[in-house]
Structure 1
């Protein structure tokens, strides 16, 4: 068979569906994926239970008005985001470090299609895990509340929204990690950038400028906008915060996509 007849067959065979199936096989076959997801689930549930077990009933009218047990029970998101984010980084940087990216791009020469398939598969998995673990954490944490402490319910105003958005937040941080990994193609530097954006910079800015700038960073949005049922003064509203996170995610993936399309494996 000549090359002129063989190449079109390859080009027509590998589409998004085939690329996504390949990414799913790679993702589920890695032990690190399962271990990381189990650590996310166990860590978030444990933090939710411990936090709620140590939550005391508020005293005084001002404390009662600002008391937000839903925000307390979702405190484990701060741990879960790190694990999911690092897993997102490894989903692509691990291929560069091991050299398997050559096989991936040999099977799917269109780099943008390969990244889109990877983002779709990893994002869907992270979203499912994020939603499941936040709901389980909420139920387990509220069950651990001491008698006399107001117990939140999914039927209470804004509680279901807070739980759903917290689960979606984990998926978006995972996709941010994937985008950063595509930009740097180096695990250590990508994790460093991810940690800087989610932990270091917002903490530094909060200490120097208050919430004026820090409120636009992912961790501050998660803890003070998405996971709250009682609005926090000076912070973004839940939907505004969610919109900012969508912009972060889209920006990292877009830059990663552009750089990946220009580089040789």
Structure 2
């Protein structure tokens, strides 16, 4: 508990923590408003097949695409800020048990990411649906089938990305390197997925921004028929990266 308290003091005393969270909500909700207001034009041009597949819940949650990068930045900074300033050596002198230190960082950062992610997703849904209803578009409520799990999945997905950011920060120990890797994972690989051999396409079922985010929809996607399995597989993969981070953090010099 003392280690958790010490890490909480560091986390909340960093200006970057509050600026990142503020950016998360400003950018996330701003994108929600833009996407919801633009939905009217898309609906007017949509074909009958596209209207059948229209998912107002998923549209109001599209801000996760950028929010995942911001929440990943928060996870990276939890670790790399101490490496950059040399404070990590002081921390490990005060608390020599490295697994305890990293476990405390992970616990606090994931808790913050989960709460912030859930608040953002629920606020985005409750903001986007009235904007679409005002344009006489199909809209949804939290009581509709599949809506509440989809919104909850959005916060869980963001928390997993935050955990991935922490793991990359530990493995690479540099903010720039960890963020570059994170951007490659959540944006670059999904964007060029078509160039990979067919035998590799199975991993995309559990990849962030692809199969990992399928649970944020309420209309079934034929490419991802088991969305919660996809999200669960992504979370297990992130846990695997975290295990590697614990092993490296325990054995490697911190300077």
1:216 positional shift: 2.6
- Indicate the residue corresponding to 1:6 in structure 2: none
1:198 aligns with 2:186: yes
Q: What is the alpha-carbon distance in structure 2 between the residues aligned to residue 151 and residue 234 of structure 1?
A: 24
> Which aligned pairs between 1:104-183 and structure 2 lie closer than 5 A?
104-145=91-132, 146-183=134-171
Secondary structure of 1:218's counterpart equals coil
Name structure 2 gaps, 5 residues minimum.
none
1:214 positional shift: 3.1
**Is the Cα–Cα contact under 8 Å of residues 48 and 74 in structure 1 kept in the other structure?**
yes
What is the TM-score of this pair, normalised by structure 2?
0.92
* 1:86-114 Cα distance to aligned partner (Å, 9 max, x none): 11111101111110001111121111111
**Is the Cα–Cα contact under 8 Å of residues 96 and 186 in structure 1 kept in the other structure?**
yes
- Indicate the residue corresponding to 1:242 in structure 2: 231
Alignment counterpart, residue 32 of structure 1, candidates 3, 12, 16: 16
Q: What is the alpha-carbon distance in structure 2 between the residues aligned to residue 106 and residue 84 of structure 1?
A: 29
Secondary structure of 1:26's counterpart equals helix
**Is the Cα–Cα contact under 8 Å of residues 32 and 60 in structure 2 kept in the other structure?**
yes
1:121 positional shift: 0.5
Q: Extract structure 1 runs of 4+ deviating beyond 4 A.
A: 58-61, 207-213
- Indicate the residue corresponding to 2:204 in structure 1: 214
- Indicate the residue corresponding to 2:75 in structure 1: 88
Name structure 1 gaps, 5 residues minimum.
1-16
Q: What is the alpha-carbon distance in structure 2 between the residues aligned to residue 187 and residue 259 of structure 1?
A: 17
> Which aligned pairs between 1:39-58 and structure 2 lie closer than 5 A?
39-56=23-40, 57=43
1:254 aligns with 2:238: no
**Count of residues in correspondence between the two structures:** 248
1:260 positional shift: 0.5
**Is the Cα–Cα contact under 8 Å of residues 176 and 248 in structure 1 kept in the other structure?**
no
| Greater Cα radius of gyration, structure 1 or 2 | 1
1:249 positional shift: 2.0
1:227 aligns with 2:212: no
